[in-house]
């Protein structure tokens, strides 16, 4: 069996018997299965015995600066609150669960 040196959240290229695939490693409760998220969004489990080779792919980090802004308050108008319920569109990937967390 190949030595696997990656952890959840890492992007990894896997070589299997009939294909190569790039995926993000998720936390798995089964010790003999590597759980991954494919670029299509699907989660799959790969038996460790089927992995011929695996290596981490360096991630390109894009850091966006959060711009602070203030809206002018109009005299005589009250305040309101906004609740964002954007679902998947307003979320980011949680590498531990394979699900999403809200952007904040």
Residues recognised as catalytic: 88
Q: Is 24 exposed, middle or buried (0-12, 13-18, 19+ CB in 10 A)?
A: buried
Find out whether 1 and 49 touch, Cβ atoms under 8 Å: yes
d(CA 29, CA 103): 26
End-to-end CA distance of the chain: 41
């Amino acid at each position: 069996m190949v030595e696997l040196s990656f952890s959840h959240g890492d992007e990894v290229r896997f070589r299997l018997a009939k294909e190569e695939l790039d995926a993000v490693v998720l936390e798995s409760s089964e010790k003999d299965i590597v759980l991954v998220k494919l670029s299509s969004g699907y989660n799959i489990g790969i038996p460790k015995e089927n992995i011929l080779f695996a290596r981490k792919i360096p991630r390109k980090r894009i850091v966006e600066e959060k711009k602070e802004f203030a809206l002018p308050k109009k005299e005589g108008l009250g305040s309101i609150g906004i609740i964002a319920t954007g679902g998947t569109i307003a979320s980011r990937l949680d590498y531990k669960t394979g699900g999403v967390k809200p952007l904040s």
